[in-house]
Amino acid sequence: MRDVFVAGIGSTSFGKHIATPIESLAVEAAARAIVESGIDRERIGALYLGNFISGPLNGKEVLAGIVGERLGLGNIPCTKVEGACASGGIAFRHAWIAIASGMCDAVMVVGVEKMTHASTAEVTSALNCAMDNENDGPSGLTFPGLFGMAWRIHASQYGTTREDIASVVIKNKANGLKNPLAQMGASLTLEQICASAMIADPLQMFDCCPASDGAAAIVLCAEPLLSSQARQNKIRVLASAQTSGSPRIANHPDLCSFEATVTAAQKAYEQSGLKAKDIDVCELHDCFSIAEIIDSEDLGLVPRGLGGKWAAEGRTGMQGDVAINPSGGLLAKGHPVGATGIGQIYEVVKQLRGEHTNQVANARIGMTHNLGGTGVACTVNILGRD
């Protein structure tokens, strides 16, 4: 297997782009990545596009081909990849495989979603396609309900408090204020969080990520195609792991852990030869505040049961043991579902280059974690600065 490097990155802001067609968002991010990479479009051998709900919300299912044509990439393979909220991360892994295996020398990977033009009912219905609706649909649960249950169980097992979980919200919203791509950065107090609307008890409004529009893109390549600029600060993909878990809620023995995340992290550590203590910065899937706590424990970044306490003590903040979601995460940056996994990699690359607007000091090893549905799909990537 060949080493794979990041040649170029691009992103739109995450937020409301109601007047912009979904394919235009993807093309904007991808064009920026191509320009930064310095690689001729004729050298790009494939395009993988992560997207989840462009069919029900935008009436467009053949986005990969549309975007490939708009970019002038010729008759290369253009593939749309779907894995619920993990769609972008899975697309990235396919691009990595294509280069590592020698099938391509350069690959474009894009993630995109457009959601804010639709009604809340339409968005909720579309997102619920990430569930096994034949079996779990009759329960009436939506994803806030699922993570509300997870919160209650975590609190019962480990003593996690409202104050602990609010620490995640306060941290990520504050980080979002320093990220020009973020949708909902804010300076919040515990009192403001506790006064916000109840969504699915005990989850309140500020505990939930916003619906978002946006796109992010990465050009990956083999080392010979790296530009002179990219060679000065080489970012290498050290590991890319994908796993699956049960699509059924009842088949998860413990809602305080997702097996797909635990296994993906183990595989990524094995691939890279690294351990959790080596990670300097992590962008993980905080679709809800309690999710960051669960994810941080599943990834081995925080001891089991202490995710809330570490957040409250500042140990997952910018000056802590490991910086988690310095971009603002999904809670503040936003969650345009298919774009999220690629957006996380964009943020980590910025950190490893030392050019982020909310820079983690001396960041050399970064991790991303992208989880889909009820833990049905997961990707974990580790990148490093050579």
Higher-pLDDT residue of 349 and 134 is 349
pLDDT, one tens digit per residue, over 244-274 is 999 888 888 889 999 999 999 999 999 999 9
Beta-carbon contacts of 232 under 8 Å, excluding residues fewer than 6 positions away, are none
pLDDT, one tens digit per residue, over 13-24 is 999 999 999 999
Q: In this predicted structure, what is the pLDDT of residue 251?
A: 84
Asked whether residue 140 carries a pLDDT value surpassing 80, the answer given is no
Q: How far is CA 185 from CA 291, 297, 322, 334, in A?
A: 18, 25, 21, 9
Q: Has residue 32 been placed in a domain? A: yes
pTM listed for this prediction: 0.97
* Share of residues in the chain with pLDDT > 70 (%): 100
pLDDT band at 297 (very low <50, low <70, confident <90, very high): very high
Asked whether residue 177 carries a pLDDT value surpassing 90, the answer given is yes
Asked whether residue 153 carries a pLDDT value surpassing 90, the answer given is yes
- Six-digit token string for 152: 């209650």
Residues 274-290 have a mean pLDDT of 98
Q: Has residue 379 been placed in a domain? A: no
Residues 72-81 have a mean pLDDT of 97
* Share of residues in the chain with pLDDT > 90 (%): 92
CATH number at residue 66: 3.40.47.10
pLDDT band at 352 (very low <50, low <70, confident <90, very high): very high
Q: In this predicted structure, what is the pLDDT of residue 138?
A: 80
Residues 294-300 have a mean pLDDT of 98
Work out how many domains the chain is built from and give that number. 1
Q: How far is CA 179 from CA 270, 327, 378, in A?
A: 32, 6, 25
pLDDT band at 85 (very low <50, low <70, confident <90, very high): very high
Q: Has residue 101 been placed in a domain? A: yes
pLDDT, one tens digit per residue, over 90-133 is 999 999 999 999 999 999 999 999 999 999 999 999 998 888 87
Helix then strand count (H, E) for the chain reads 15, 12
Q: In this predicted structure, what is the pLDDT of residue 330?
A: 98
* Helix 289-298 vs helix 259-272: crossing angle, to nearest 10: 50
Q: Has residue 383 been placed in a domain? A: no
pLDDT, one tens digit per residue, over 220-238 is 999 999 999 889 889 999 9
pLDDT band at 206 (very low <50, low <70, confident <90, very high): very high
Nearest to 33 by CA among 333, 329, 349: 349
Q: Has residue 51 been placed in a domain? A: yes
Compute the C-alpha angle 269/158/296, nearest 5°. Answer: 25
Q: In this predicted structure, what is the pLDDT of residue 133?
A: 79
Asked whether residue 374 carries a pLDDT value surpassing 80, the answer given is yes
Q: Has residue 161 been placed in a domain? A: no
Q: In this predicted structure, what is the pLDDT of residue 141?
A: 78
Averaged pLDDT of the chain? 96
Which positions are catalytic?
Answer: 85, 335
Asked whether residue 137 carries a pLDDT value surpassing 90, the answer given is no
Q: In this predicted structure, what is the pLDDT of residue 384?
A: 98
Task: Domain of residue 20: give its range.
Answer: 5-119+211-231
Q: Has residue 58 been placed in a domain? A: yes
pLDDT, one tens digit per residue, over 31-56 is 999 999 999 999 999 999 999 999 99
Q: In this predicted structure, what is the pLDDT of residue 269?
A: 98
Compute the C-alpha angle 304/309/311, nearest 5°. Answer: 105
Beta-carbon contacts of 258 under 8 Å, excluding residues fewer than 6 positions away, are 245, 252, 294, 295, 298, 371, 375, 378
Q: Has residue 142 been placed in a domain? A: no
